Amino acid sequence: MTRRPAPEPVQIVKQRRDAVLRALVEGVPYVQFMGITFERRGDELTGIMPYKDDLIGNPILPALHGGATAAFLEVTAIITLSWAFIWEDMESGALDVSDLSHVHLPRLPKTIDFTVDYLRSGLPRDAYARARINRSGRRYASVHVEGWQDNRERMFAQATGHFVMPQRKG
Amino acid sequence: MTDKLKQANQFIRALPHARALGMELQSLEMGTAIISMPYAERLIGDPKTGVVHGGAVSALMDTACGAAVMSHPSNPAGTATIDLRIEYLRAATPGQTITTEATCYHVTRSVAFVRATAHDEDRATPVAMATGTFTVEGRK
């Protein structure tokens, strides 16, 4: 009778996942410039764009710049898609995470097109976004993103984008 | 720089996000806006190649489209994006300024229709193209 190996201690698993996510997000200068961060629950990610004056497009209202909203949703789509791509390899051990300070990540997906639907003006508050991967094939992926602020039920913007996936080696 | 352009540039600089991204208005008249965004490290979206993030290009496109609407001869008092679709034809060459030309080609009582093209220093193939609709907030 063979005994099943003991499961990995939960803190080791969390440490590995969080370090890979950090490497993914903190490696992108534009994401840092926008101040966008990600919260993780298992494999689910929520993008957070904390309010700062630099994000304003209409100083009279005031309202978030439509471009800042578009960028936030696109960043959330790309990070979520990349994270899903990495997840499998990270969990199976195919991704070398022996040195968590130097994780060698695959290339990022490339945006083909991105369409933003502005539902109401962005308030000078923190914004949140979650992406749903509607299809992810070997070459292309289709992703939908929802952005909200104070109320989860009242989206201020949503977007759909298509992406070219990085190619796995071999 | 003409007085009119100087005035319009002050308008762009009054938009905090446009200023933060380093946007410069090159020309603005009769429903057409040309705005450039010099290359900067903070705009990088792919650390392995140094290519500018699509989000920064989106912000440039959105700003140029909005400015084009504001400069339309029908004189809207204000505008906001209803919808904006962007196609990324190729990666912008790292180190090069990206310039967007946006044209507001039709305005109704409530909606403005806009198209835009973004180039880097290689004018042969655009970096991105955009189509958008914007609100028209009353007339001046």
Q: Looking at the 3D structure of chain B, how many domains does it have?
A: 1
The shortest C-alpha distance from B32 to chain A (Å) reads 19
Asked if A81 reaches chain B (Cβ–Cβ under 8 Å), the answer is: no
SS (H, E, C) A94-156: CCCCCCHHHCCCCCCCEEEEEEEEECCCCCCCCEEEEEEEEEECCCEEEEEEEEECCCCCCEE
Taking CA–CA distances from A27, the nearest residue in chain B reads B47
Range of the domain at B58: 3-135
In a domain, B57, yes or no: yes
In a domain, B16, yes or no: yes
The shortest C-alpha distance from B68 to chain A (Å) reads 15
Helix (H), strand (E) at residue A49: strand A44-49
Per the CATH hierarchy, to which homologous superfamily does domain A10-164 belong?
A: Hotdog Thioesterase (3.10.129.10)
Quick check: helix, strand or coil at residue A164? strand
In a domain, B140, yes or no: no
Best mutation target, B51, B53, B79, B111, to test chain A (most A CBs within 10 A): B53
| End-to-end CA gap in chain A | 37
d(CA A76, CA A46): 8
The shortest C-alpha distance from A44 to chain B (Å) reads 22
pLDDT > 80? residue B3:
no
In a domain, B88, yes or no: yes
- Chain B residues whose CB is inside 8 A of the A71 CB are 53-56, 58-59
Best mutation target, B57, B81, B129, to test chain A (most A CBs within 10 A): B81
Rounded to the nearest angstrom, the gap between the alpha carbon of residue A46 and the centroid of all alpha carbons in its chain is 7
CATH number at residue B31: 3.10.129.10
d(CA A167, CA B11): 44
Please tell me the pTM assigned to this model: 0.94
Q: Report the percent of chain B where pLDDT is more than 90.
A: 81
pLDDT, position B2 = 67
Taking CA–CA distances from B82, the nearest residue in chain A reads A118
ipTM metric? 0.93
What's the whole-number average pLDDT of chain A? 92
- The band of A170, judged by pLDDT with boundaries at 50, 70 and 90, is very low
The shortest C-alpha distance from A97 to chain B (Å) reads 19
